[in-house]
């Protein structure tokens, strides 16, 4: 009961701040239990037998649905050449080439120990997710290019913890790339801010074969270099100093990362635009124009009101990132927070998978944390911040259950991919 008193709460907070990695790994472990509970509820009460082929759907069935099937095919069969085509139309159809190779390569490496695909994939994601939350914490507490904030360590700790409870967090237990991609993105941003440009270049290349996020990450790189150039000139030293070669390699690696997998698919298939043809088979057609599909969807669903609501949501998010509640984050992180969601809305069609795509936008957790813990003006941390954070955490747990039950089950006649 002493822990429930004010002094007890202060001791717990102080201990967490003194040992943030332990605290975050504890929260992460608890969040995996919550995510697994959500998957169990989905299997027990929401998964239709027709979607799994037998009358009693299990948690294991849920781990083998959707993209997990494709990653398992990559591990067991590899990538098909020539690309599969529809026999009636001759157009390129669904195939493993839509999925990036680093994650299945890691799973295959773990399977050398004798583990099955599902177990190995879960193990890879458990480790990648743990690394991601620790890196996100370090990124958010980094003081460079950010407004002064005495409570930075506390905000960063809570934000990283809340990120573990993002509604789509259950996907980090499944055979998906989110956990690995989040780890690489956070690691890349940390290396960038610490000016380890050659290491950043290496991570960028790996990321190029993991997830298509390089264009958004590129904005953070350019803004960082602009700030570095201005700071060096203001200090009276040669801009970029002895890092010019490293900067050149970093820029080249970032550019290559944006096209690495499409070029690879084109090379092995013999079709220069093979990757985009495969993506088109899955419904991704960015050639129709950036943002067009989202505005069309909003108009078709709710008319003018739908468009207004969508614009209002985007405007609110931008205001939070640019305004006081985002100012405590490093500018490079804020650039990622701006570029990544806009990049998604520009190239991804309206689809329920957007919930898991936004898992990589971890600054959302930082914004929610700031709104919950600080005054409306983005000032000092309020006295009852723990109660506010607890309320947010409870709501997020509800979101985890809702995502698991609403999107994870596979129903053949009503497809809503997670």
55-109 tens-digit pLDDT: 899 999 999 999 999 999 999 999 999 889 888 888 888 999 999 999 999 999 9
Q: Check the CA dihedral 59-61-65-68 and report its sign.
A: positive
State residue 244's pLDDT score: 96
DSSP class per residue in 172-234: GTSSSSHHHHHHHHHHHHHHHHTT-HHHHHHHHHHHHTT-S-HHHHHHHHHHHHHHHHHHHHH
| 81 close to 268: Cβ distance less than 8 angstroms | yes
State residue 286's pLDDT score: 61
Which pTM was predicted?
0.96
- In the predicted model, residues of the chain with pLDDT beneath 50 are 1
State residue 3's pLDDT score: 54
State residue 52's pLDDT score: 86
Q: Kindly report the three-state secondary structure assignment for every residue of 356-396.
A: HHHHHCCHHHHHHHHHHHECCCCCCECCCHHHHHHHHHHHH
State residue 2's pLDDT score: 53
CA distance 60 to 349: 30
Any idea where the domains of the chain sit in the sequence? 20-276+283-407
State residue 4's pLDDT score: 58
State residue 138's pLDDT score: 98
């Amino acid at each position: 009961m002493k822990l429930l008193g004010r002094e007890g709460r202060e001791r717990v907070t102080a201990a967490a701040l003194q040992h943030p990695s332990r605290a975050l790994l504890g929260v992460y472990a608890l969040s995996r239990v919550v995510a697994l509970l959500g998957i169990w509820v989905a299997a027990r009460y929401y998964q239709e037998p027709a979607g799994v082929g037998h009358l009693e759907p299990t948690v294991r069935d849920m781990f083998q649905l959707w993209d997990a099937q494709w990653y398992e095919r990559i591990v067991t069969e590899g990538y098909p050449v020539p690309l599969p085509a529809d026999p009636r139309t001759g157009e390129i159809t669904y195939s493993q080439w839509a999925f990036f190779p680093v994650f299945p390569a890691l799973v295959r490496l773990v399977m050398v120990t004798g583990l099955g695909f599902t177990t190995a994939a879960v193990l890879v994601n458990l480790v990648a997710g743990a690394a991601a939350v620790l890196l996100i914490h370090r990124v958010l507490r980094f003081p460079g290019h950010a407004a002064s904030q005495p409570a930075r360590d506390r905000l960063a700790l809570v934000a990283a913890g809340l990120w573990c409870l993002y509604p789509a967090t259950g996907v980090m237990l499944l055979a998906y790339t989110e956990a690995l991609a989040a780890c690489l993105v956070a690691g890349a941003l940390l290396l960038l801010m610490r000016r380890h440009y050659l290491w950043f270049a290496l991570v960028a290349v790996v990321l190029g074969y993991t997830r298509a996020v390089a264009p958004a990450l590129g904005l953070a790189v350019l803004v960082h270099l602009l700030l570095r150039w201005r700071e060096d000139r203001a200090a009276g030293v040669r801009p970029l100093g002895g890092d010019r070669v490293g900067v050149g390699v970093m820029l080249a690696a970032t550019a290559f990362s944006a096209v690495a997998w499409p070029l690879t698919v084109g090379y092995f298939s013999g079709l220069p635009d093979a990757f985009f043809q495969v993506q088109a088979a899955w419904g991704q057609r960015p050639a129709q124009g950036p943002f067009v599909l989202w505005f069309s969807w909003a108009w078709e669903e709710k008319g003018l009101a739908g468009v207004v609501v969508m614009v209002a949501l985007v405007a609110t998010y931008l205001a939070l990132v640019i305004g006081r509640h985002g100012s405590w984050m490093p500018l490079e992180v804020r650039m990622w927070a701006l570029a990544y969601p806009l990049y998604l809305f520009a190239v991804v069609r309206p689809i329920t998978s957007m919930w898991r795509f936004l898992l990589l936008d971890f600054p959302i957790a930082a914004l929610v944390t700031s709104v919950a813990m600080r005054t409306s003006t983005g000032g000092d941390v309020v006295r009852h911040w723990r109660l506010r954070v607890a309320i947010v955490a409870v709501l997020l747990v509800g979101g985890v259950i809702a995502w698991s039950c609403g999107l994870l089950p596979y129903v053949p006649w009503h497809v809503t991919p997670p």
